[in-house]
Structures are given as structure tokens and as C-alpha cells.
Amino acid sequence: MALKEKLHQLKLKYQGKKMAPAFNALHTFLYTPNETTHSGAHVRAADDLKRTMNTVILSLVPCLLFGMFNAGYQHYSAINGFPENFSLFEHFLTWDNFWVGVTTVLPLVIVSYGVGLAIEFLFAVIKGHEVEEGYLVTGMLVPLIVPVDTPLWMLAIAVVFGVVIGKEVFGGTGMNILNPALTIRAFLFFAYPTWMSGDKVWVHEAVERAGTADAISGETILGSLAQGSDYSYSLADMFYGFIPGSVGETSTLLILLGGLFLIFSKIASWRIMVSAVIGALAMGLIFNGIVDAGWLPEYSKFYSLMSFPFWQHLIVGGLAFGIVFMATDPVTGSQTNKGKWYYGFFIGFLSVMIRVFNPGYPEGVFLAILLMNVFAPTIDHYVVKGNIKKRLKRLKTATIYPKASDEVDSLKTETA
């Protein structure tokens, strides 16, 4: 308790000073504030914004750890070949693999948090408001959705861009139109495409070794499909995540667990997740149907992506990760329950569509989510309007007691 008391005293000392917001952010990060309201009715719940954010981070930790091991696994497998009799403890959960993860993934996490929080603190001090917690989740998402060898200075620039242009100019956490993590990803993708796609970026050291005798590569499954070539990963590999890809997006199993955790802690919307899955399956089924009907000649460049079994879209690439952790962002998604269904459905639908029709963007997920982020307020607007219309209709046919008063007539003419 001594530390807590000291922090409280320090807070009083800094009150009203310019640096107060920066201090308060640290102060309430671990402890509840010592002042409470004394009057009126209040919801007494522990889950404030910090707690919400921490829960999401908790659900991301398995993905992060898996990503660290996978970074090493992909690296060594690209050099020595994939093990024939794969055993989890012998080939995957090894110290060697973990060490590669520590040296490649941890710097990404540190840069992401360091740069992002520095900007948050800077803006809080300049604008004189409390530091907002929004970056806690973004900072964790960012390293998980970039290739393992992303140069750190690129990541730093992208984080500056994403936080300032994607969030702060709109008024900070809660006011942003676009998901900041995806803004960062999109910026990286358009600014440095050679580091964000191709067969060299998904495996640690592949870029440095390119052109030498030790050259290694690892193409993602979607990348292989876009070129019409084969891939050698089994369905189990895809589901458990032993495939090349962005750091944290590969393991559908752990994403699923994280998603269930978020649903049971009521932090993420199950409606968005379910409808996005439905949307992806629907689009995949349409494409499979076109192929089955024989409308698409085999030499078409879309053939291998369109004939990819519809449900497997969910376990390759970043679709699962996007649906669970990005689409459900409460700030940028739809707010109404009905709107969430439309919003989620189109995310899934468009993701698969972009994947198939634009092989240049094998990861259509981030584009689909950003696009629907823009449309989310419009969807909500029409849902709310539709509801008002429905209730007005109900009112028109309703009998209002007492029948014989003048007020009823005036009410009816008013609403008519």
C-alpha cells in the first residue's frame, strides 16, 4: 500500500501542472484512483477503458507467443527443410525458435509501444487532457499484423502516421473513423510494398540472404494461390498456424480462443464475428459455385484462388485475425446491433472478394475492414432511421387511452 499512497501524494503534487496528464496515466494504470464521487447514482463497475484494453491484450498474448515461436520455426524450416515427423515440442516449442522470436518480434513490440505511447503522451500534454488508453491495444496489434522482418524505422514512421493522421487529428481515442492499427498496416503496405508482400518478407533473414547461395524464401498460401502455384501445407498446419504469414495472424486456433475469451468477457461483439464469417463463407461459396459450374476456364488467373475451398479462406491469411480483433473495434465499427450484422457481413464478403480479384493485394482483409469502417456510421444512420419509421408506424395504428382527449389527436397529427 505504501507505493499506492505515495502515488496518490505525487498526484496531488502534480495537479494542475502541465505534465499532470502524463503522470495520471501511469498512476491509474495499476491502481484505482483515490477519489470517488460522493453523490448521485453511478455504475460501480471495475471495467473502465484501461481494464477493457488489458483484457484485449490478454487475449492477444497467445498469438504473440505463438508468433515468436513461429518466427523461429519458419526461419529454421526454410533453411533445413520442414521436419518430416513434426512434433510440437521437438520442432516448434524450442529455445532456438523462441530466441529468433525474441530478437525479431520483441523489437517490433517495443518500437510500436514506444513510439505510439510517446505520441499519445505528447498530445495529452499539449492538449491538456488525460492520456487516453486507446493505444494500448493498437500497440499490441501492430507488431502482430506486420511481416517479421519489417525494418524498425519503417514501423516507427508508420506508427507516427497512423496515430497522428489516423487518430489524433480526429480528436483522439473514441473519435477516430479508421482503425489506427489498420491505418498503420495500410500505410506500410502502400509506402513500402516490397517489405509487405512477396515471398521474401515472411521468413526471418530471407531478405538479407536473397541472391546468395543460402537464399531462402517462404510464400504465404494466398501468395502461392495468386500465382497459381501449389503450396505444401496441410489443413492442420493452416489451422494450428505452422505457416508463413504476418507475426500473429497464422494460428487460427489461438485466434479462435482469443475470440471466445473476448466474447465471454463481453468486450467484442459476437454479432460482428459471426456475420463476418458468414459473409466470407458466402463469397467463397459463390466463387466455388462459379468454378463448379464450369464458367471459368482453367487458364484464368483467378482459377486457383476461386477454386480454393470456400471454408479454407477462414484459416489462411489474416482473415480470422482481422475478424476477431480488428473488425470488432468498438470505436470504428457499427454501434447498433442490426448494423453490426451488415457491417460484419460485408467485411467477410469484401475480404474474400478482394483476395480473389486483386492478387496484388493478397491480404484483402485490412482494405475491407477500413472500407467498412468508413461506412459504419452510414449503416448505423439507416438502422436508426428504420427503427424510428417502424415505431412511428406502430404509433399510428395504436389506440391511445384515454381515447376521448384532445391531446391524443394533437399527438397523432404531430407524429403523422
Partner 1 sequence: MALLSKKDANLIKDPLADNNPITIQVLGICSALAITAELKASVVMAISVLFVMGVGNVVISLIRNIIPSKIRIIVQLVVVAALVIIVDQVLKAFAYDLSKTLSVFIGLIITNCIIMGRFEAFALGNGPRRAFLDGIGNALGYGVILVIVGFFRELLGSGTLFGIKVLGDPIAKTGLYSIGYENNGFMIIPPAALIVVGVIIWVQRSRNRALIEEA
Residues that bind partner 1 (CB under 8 A): 151, 153-154, 157, 165, 169, 187, 190-195
**Crossing angle for the helix pair 49-80 and 95-127, nearest 10 degrees?**
140
Closest CA to 326 of 111, 144, 118, 105: 144
CA pair distance 324, 41, nearest whole angstrom: 35
CB-based burial label for 2 (10 Å; 0-12, 13-18, 19+) = exposed
Q: Which is nearer to partner 1, 195 or 325 (CB)?
A: 195
Comparison of 125 and 285: residue with beta carbon closer to partner 1: 125
Task: Compute the least distance from the CB of residue 212 to partner 1, in Å.
Answer: 16
Residues in contact with 171: Cβ distance below 8 Å, sequence separation at least 6, in sequence order: none
CB closer to partner 1, 191 vs 235: 191
Residue with cell 547461395: 213
* Residue number with CB closer to partner 1 (82 or 161): 161
Q: Tell the smallest beta-carbon distance from residue 361 to partner 1 (Å).
A: 14
Distance CA 163, CA 39 (A): 37
* CB of residue 190 to partner 1, shortest distance in Å: 4
CA pair distance 174, 178, nearest whole angstrom: 10
Select 169 or 400, whichever has its Cβ closest to partner 1.
169
What's at 140, amino acid-wise?
Answer: M
**What Cα–Cα distance (Å) separates residue 83 from each residue in 124, 220, 287?**
51, 18, 34
Least distance from partner 1 to the Cβ atom of residue 194, Å: 8
Q: How far is the CB of 195 from partner 1 (least distance, A)?
A: 8
Would you say 163 or 291 has its CB closer to partner 1? Answer: 163
Q: Are 161 and 183 in contact (CB under 8 A)?
A: yes
CB of 184 to partner 1, least distance (A): 12
Q: Classify 358 in phi/psi space as left (phi over 0), alpha (psi -120 to 50) or beta.
A: beta
Report the residue number, 193 or 330, with the smaller CB distance to partner 1: 193
Q: How far is the CB of 406 from partner 1 (least distance, A)?
A: 42
Question: How many DSSP H helices and E strands does the chain contain?
Answer: 18, 0
